[in-house]
Structure 1
Amino acid sequence: MGRILLAEDDEAVRSFVKRALELDGHTVVATEDGDEALDVLTRTGGQYDLLLSDIKMPVMDGIALAMDAARAYPHLPIVLMTGFADQRERTNGLDMIVYEVITKPFSLADIRRMARNAIAGVAPVEQRRYAC
């Protein structure tokens, strides 16, 4: 099981995702924004198996968090979440640092599978399709 750092400003989504991931035995540290998540990452020396972050958050958004985290901890898988098409478009060009972007609303099974695959290093479906 992995150690997951979750950054999500919506309390209901944060609780849902935290519980979903804990069902698989992961240890989840939940934060309310990117700035808080970056502070946790820095204090722990990046000792996480996955960074899971909403894109649109106050203080520091998920893209800024992903860029800072990838620079400091290049082997840390990063998954971004969003419910907004325009926010998803902002991730174009971040393929080298972001494992995947998952669109809200997602199911319990979707987020659990995404975390499991990201931690295991399984290539996202889109990448596997073009690898042949």
Structure 2
Amino acid sequence: MAKILLAEDDPSVRGFVSRALEMDGHEVVVTEDGGLAAEAALEHNGEFDLLLSDIKMPVMDGIALSLSIAAQYPDITILLMTGFADQRERAHGLDALVHDVVPKPFTLADIRAKVAEALEGREVEKETLAKKFGA
């Protein structure tokens, strides 16, 4: 299973999402904002398969976090979530960096499916690169 970095400032959403991902066997490192998530990425040497972040957060928002993570650890797949339409539009400017934006509110099944899809896309991309470069 995957190692996931979760950045979400709302405690109830953070707990809900963390439990959902752990149900699927993922290891989840939970943070309360983008600044703490950036620190966690550094502490773990970027050894995450997926960054799952809210967009609108204090300290460092999900857009700034995504830019930072993508620059430092380009192999981490990024999946964002938001309940604000204007924030979703901001994220779509990052199409090359962000796998998808999950609209809130979402169900347990929704978030589990979106994470599975993002991780599956990551594996397909790795296989394609391996074939292309003979690794």
The equivalent residue for 2:28 is 28
Match of residue 69 from structure 2: 69
Q: Which runs of 5+ in 1 are unaligned?
A: 123-132
Q: Pick the structure with more helix per residue.
A: 2
Corresponding residue for residue 58 of structure 1: 58
Counterpart code for 2:40: V
- Structure 2 equivalent of residue 107 of structure 1: 107
Amino acid at match of 1:107: T
- The worse-fitting range, judged by mean Cα deviation, of 88-97 and 12-21 is 88-97
SS of 2:64's equivalent in the other structure is helix
Equivalenced residues, count:
123
Identical aligned pairs, as a percentage?
61
Q: Structure 1 CA distance, aligned partners of 2:9 and 2:32?
A: 4
TM-score, normalised via structure 2 length: 0.88
Q: Give the superposed CA RMSD.
A: 1.2
Q: Does 1:85 align with 2:106?
A: no
Question: Aligned residue for 1:5?
Answer: 5
Give the corresponding residue for 2:39.
Answer: 39
- 1:91: how far off? 1.1
Moved over 2 A (4+): none
Give how far 1:92 is off. 2.5
Instruction: Give the CA deviation at 1:119.
Output: 1.3
Distance in 1 (alpha carbons) for counterparts of 2:10 and 2:112: 19
Q: Distance in 2 between matches of 1:19 and 1:32?
A: 15
Structure having the higher Rg? 2
* Residue identity opposite 2:38 in structure 1: L
Counterpart position of 1:97: 97
